[in-house]
Amino acid sequence: MLQLLLIAVSLALDAMAVSVSVGIANPRAAWKQGLRMGLWFGGFQFGMPLLGFLLGRTLSAYIAAAAPFVAFGLLAFVGGRMIIDSLQNQDGCAPATGELTTRRLFTLAVATSIDALAVGVSAAFMALPLLLSCTVIGVTAFLLSLLGALVGRRLGCAFQRWAQVLGGIVLILIGLKFLLERFFL
């Protein structure tokens, strides 16, 4: 369960970083925007691993022997991308998102949940309970998005960069754990 919670928090850090940015940009609407972002981000974070899991399950009969390598590769790729993206952003601050239209929320939700799709593919090989995993990931994204919007002004821009770096490192370490289990267990 701890592993699942770490995955969920790591995936939700992108959504939280966006929420922090929105909270900084418009502190007066933090509750309203936080709830909207939480619902969108949490919903996509719930659905994307489900979709990824189904894709991974379909392919699992063909690549069962390679499962630990696939899980490691996907988690390392997602984690590495999170780290690189955060370090390339020189000012450490996500751009202000402006008004949160439905179109913008959809775009942000897809962008912050693509990594959850890859983790869902990996989950097909990890023997994690599907519905529980998706629920924990979705609820975590909802809560961290709401929290990010509410405290964005106080945390400042520096938090966004290091939260993404930490999330990337955690995903890579979880992937490495699966790879090491393949050889030593």
pLDDT for 151: 80
With H, G, I as helix, E, B as strand and everything else as coil, classify residue 92: coil
pLDDT at 149: 87
Closest CA to 57 of 2, 137, 6, 133: 133
For residue 158, how many other CB atoms are within 10 A of its CB? 11
Q: Under a CB-based contact definition with an 8 Å cutoff, are residues 159 and 20 in contact?
A: yes
Q: Is 94 left (phi over 0), alpha (psi -120 to 50) or beta?
A: beta
According to the model, what pLDDT value does residue 158 have? 56
pLDDT score of 61: 61
Q: What is the pLDDT of residue 160?
A: 63
Q: What is the pLDDT of residue 8?
A: 92
- The whole-number pLDDT of residue 60 equals 61
The predicted model scores a pTM of 0.70
pLDDT of residue 97: 45
Q: What's the rounded Cα separation, in Å, for the pair 185 and 177?
A: 11
Are the beta carbons of 142 and 42 closer than 8 angstroms? yes
Tell me what pLDDT residue 21 has: 73
Cα–Cα dist 121/59, whole Å: 9
pLDDT of residue 20: 78
Please report the DSSP string for 107-134 in residue order.
HHHHHHHHHHHHHHHHHHHHT--HHHHH
Give average pLDDT by consecutive 10-residue segment, the chain, 185 residues.
Answer: 88 84 71 92 94 79 66 77 76 56 85 82 74 94 93 65 73 79 75
Q: 76-125 pLDDT, tens per residue?
A: 887 788 788 778 866 555 554 456 789 888 888 888 888 888 788 777 66
On the 0-12 / 13-18 / 19+ scale of CB atoms within 10 A, 164 is buried
